[in-house]
Amino acid sequence: MVTTFTVLQVAEHIERQVTDVWDRQFWVRGEVSGLKRQGKGVWFDLVHTTEDGQVVAQLNVSMPASKGRLVDRRLAAVGQPLDDGLEIRIKANLQFWVRGGRLSLSLADIDPSHTAGALALARRDLLAAMQADGSIERNRRLPTPRVPLSLGLVTSGGSQAFHDLVEELRASGLPFRLHMISTRVQGPDAPPQIVAALRTLAVRPDIDLVLLTRGGGAEIDLMTFDHADVARGIADCRVPVWTGIGHHLDQPVAELVAARAHKTPTALAQGVVATVREAADDTEQVWADVRDRARRRLDRADRALSTAARRTAAARTALRGAHGRVDAHQRRLQQAATRVTNQRLGALQDRADRLQRDAPRSLQHRADRLSRAERLVALADPDRLIERGWTVTTRADDGGLVTGPLPAGTVLHTRTREGTITSEVIHTDDR
């Protein structure tokens, strides 16, 4: 006959096996997931993930509320309370709950040094990666606005950090404009909310500065501000990010990549106020310098104007005297001009009379000389000379007169009264 077990028998058998084999405590490490605190107990899953974040194994962990408070105190010493995403190393024993049919770990102790080491390693790797790709300096290289009056604020709305910062800004009396996005500042939801807020504020053209802040407390949760997404969100923000996170031990990565870091929300607000006041003081100093320079220029101009007025008065007196002298010179000039003009007119009239008298005789003399020249030219005309028995010999090639020895073979034309004779040079005798 086949034996049939009840569910209770199987469950009790599993419980005995677990108790016999795992009756001692042991150390186990993993990442916290699904943390719950309810009444008298604390529960979460301890998970093992691959590099790409995939969960490949998990165990439920439970402990009473008193043990949860002990764990919180131990982790507070390294600045990180128990929360999702935190890597921990715990001492526990394995238990099987018969009624619920569930295997779980019962936490007995926790090793805070392991958590601190894991966080420090992740923090060091993040800083090294950002240093290598140059993003660690990106936000710090952004120019600070001269007068940052339009401020984006990322914090938990209604928190003490929010009230401290707003009160400090209001007390300054400066016309700040605050655009706040309320986010979680701790827990697994905090990093994506902060990154989304930074991106929202960065695309607004009216934002001068983005302020990221949180308040301190008995449990200082800085894990959010060492998160890679938050650090890179600050580095990629196109607007300078100033922080007022507050820290007791190591400076969070968020403060190392931000354009400027302050210890507290109040100090953050005071830094913004000081920046605006410095710009206002510089502006007032520039205005004072402009006013002083303008006053000095006006004083010099006034003195120059007074000097010019005195010189103008003296010039006016001298001008009146000069007018008198000019009038006298004008009268003398008119008298001299009349006298010279009369003299020139008389001389011109004398020349006109002589020209009228001598011109006909001079013209007749010139005409006689021209007639004699014309007769001489007519006598020298070649045609008339040829008629009288003379001859004219020229070269046939260019019509030039023969003026010297000619080479043999030269053709000549000789004009006579009877006609033209063509000849060729056979020989030339030198004489």
Give the model's pLDDT for residue 100. Answer: 80
**CATH number, span 7-117:** 2.40.50.140
CATH H-level, domain 134-277: superfamily:
Succinyl-CoA synthetase domains (3.40.50.261)
**Burial readout 399-423 (b: 16 or more C-beta within 10 A, e: otherwise):** eeeeeeeeeeebebeebeeeeeeee
pLDDT exceeds 90 at position 430:
no
Share of the chain above pLDDT 70, in %: 96
**Section 98-118 average pLDDT:** 83
Strands 26-38 and 87-97, sheet pairing: antiparallel
Residue 61: count other Cβ atoms within 10 Å of its Cβ: 22
Amino acid at 108: A
Angle among Cα 106, 109, 114 to the nearest 5 degrees reads: 120
Question: What is the Cα gyration radius of the chain?
Answer: 61
pLDDT exceeds 50 at position 217:
no
Burial of 68 (0-12, 13-18, 19+ CB in 10 A): buried
Does the pTM surpass 0.75? The reply is no
Ranked by mean pLDDT, the top range of 7-11, 122-126, 136-140, 339-343 is 136-140
Q: Does 240 or 118 have the greater pLDDT score?
A: 240
Share of the chain above pLDDT 90, in %: 29
Q: Would you kindly state where each structural domain of the chain is located, as residue ranges? A: 7-117, 134-277, 384-424
What is the pLDDT of the chain when averaged over all its residues? Answer: 85
Contact 210, 239 (CB under 8 A): yes
Partners of residue 240 on adjacent β-strands? none
